[in-house]
Structure formats: structure tokens, C-alpha cells
Amino acid sequence: MGVQPVPDEPASRSALRVGAIFANVAGACLVLLGLVMGGGAFATGSLWIAIAAAGAFGLVAAAFVVAGRWLRQGRRMGAVMLGLLTLLLGVGVVKGDITMALPFLPAMGATLIALRSWRQLAGPASRGTA
């Protein structure tokens, strides 16, 4: 009796689910950072800067949640969005904004899972004929 190949569908679905969880964690970290930075700006007396900071962090956090949902659904655009958002956070970390390291780590995990599952996201047409 030889070794039977195991279909990769359940593993890829669970991997996509884990990737979506990582994306949601990155979004939650961004919401937390937005509240802290907005609160700090409000404490110094700048209401408009506080609103802008909370709004900007909220928009990026919402983009992470949407990308995670699309990744869980198996859409390729979720992986593309996660890659671009992680690149955005990575630029912030490299430029010296150490606060971006907190959401960067789960975002990087989600992006690596999305890139690893790229062939499952592509669908049967791009897998070629074997």
C-alpha cells in the first residue's frame, strides 16, 4: 500500500482562516494605536488632529478587516490588499515609526499566509494543466 495524497483544500481553507485572523489582529492593533495617538493629541488640546489621527488609523484598520474577510472568502484581491497594507506599515517601521511595529507583525503573518496560499486563491484556470 502506497501513501495516499491528501487533498490540500481543507488545509488551505484553515490557513486562509488563520490569515484572516492575523489581519483582524493587525486591524485591532491599529484601532488601539489610533485611540492612543488621538487621545494624546486631544490631551494636548488639538481636537482636529485627534479626529484626523483616529480617522486615519480607523480607515487603515477597516482596510485590514476587509482584506482579511476577502482572504477568508478565497479572493485574490484580499491577498493583494494585505500585501500593500503590510508594505505601507513596513515603510513606516523602516522610517523609524516604532509604533507601527505593533500592527506590522500580525500583518506580516497574514501576508505570508496569503502569499503561500496564492495558488489556491488563483483558481483552477491559472494552475496549468498537468
User: Residue 14: how many CA atoms within 13 Å on its side-chain side?
Assistant: 4
Model pTM score: 0.79
Query: So where are the chain's domains?
Result: 14-118
What pLDDT shows up at residue 9? 54
- pLDDT at position 69 over 70: yes
Binning pLDDT at 50, 70 and 90, where does residue 4 land? Answer: low
Higher pLDDT, 32 or 128: 32
Question: CA distances (Å), 79 to each of 7, 35, 41, 73, in order?
Answer: 22, 27, 33, 11
Does pLDDT of 128 surpass 60? Answer: no
Mean pLDDT of 75-100: 89
Percent residues over pLDDT 90 in the chain: 38
